[in-house]
Structure 1
């Protein structure tokens, strides 16, 4: 009895179709299909916000432009105001002249410990003139210091009370200067002894420091500091009880503003 072989009831459709398409009866291996993986944590692509950067830059440029323009306008207005004030009032600095300087006492003694003691008494007269026609000056108390012109050694100190300097007016500043100090600097003592041996006398310098308010009619400006420096003065110690008169014929005084910004003074 012969055994019969029956084909499978479920033929492989993929193999049969591929074999029929290729004209070959054998099986053909097809590549597996690629599956797309989905990542829920992946962020979608977003373009960079370029418009905001451009807007910020434009705002910054506008701020810089208007700030610069405002500063230029303020400087221009200040220049115009200063020009108007100068034309109307024609301001001038007050003028100072050393009228007289008398030395009543001037003693320099040396001690055994290589220190020196200086005792002095001076009478100073300074003539101050206001050349302005419409400006007045309100002076604070004046601090006066007399030093040597060579090494700035202090010879005497004094002061003068506050006063008002009216237009086209002349004021005499009279003050008594004195000191009783100890000098330990050998170089300063040697320089002073060398000046005392000169026929022309010791070259002296007078410095006056104060603060002043400028008054224009009823308007008062901000208080500023000034320094008056007078040089070209020569004096000798007195001989006997009579004071000696210092030479002031070549004395010249210069007035400088003293503007203080934080800790610095210009």
Structure 2
């Protein structure tokens, strides 16, 4: 990407430039997931975030925000290309354990290194693998934060990513090799912010790290390393978002998020 501020990106991640290797890709993906929280604050407040390179760079690198998949993986793609990686985009259908997915509303990346394709994804949130996974089918693969496996689905023609836990497999999303244009991404972004069946306008969803501790929010519920509790005030929400996860948010934005959470909870 011409004009991408790689130094600013690496500064946000707290790392030096990485080599164009599988190890370099893994270091970059892990650092972005750990340092730039997944968050859907804009869609939750009825705002369609910009998903172009300049808009994403301004929001995440200049204004200290996070973002959801269309923003996170746009930033990740731009950084990878600036470093010299061979990267393409794919759209996925989120499954959340279901046999099939819905609309194509998740953006991911495929990175080719020395003839091997890797699933590279810094924008799924939740149980996303911290490191990229080689596109090897039916072979369990270990990431720092869990065990995963990719399987072909003959009914949909998709490769499906599963999280493995205690012998059970939970389908995360499925994707194919269809070309993805900027218009596809803009349409998916619009769908995620306006479609009544999309989760983002109805729920605050945040996932990040406080140091090495994973921290997630679903509305007012905090999940910290597997222990759950409820936030009881806008001040507590501010502490979780801005102090623990490091997001830069005006007080008015945090209050607006809290007000929307309580309004939806009290809706008939």
TM-score by length of 1: 0.23
| Greater strand fraction, Structure 1 or Structure 2 | 1
| Greater helix fraction, Structure 1 or Structure 2 | 2
TM-score by length of 2: 0.23
Q: Which has the larger radius of gyration?
A: 1
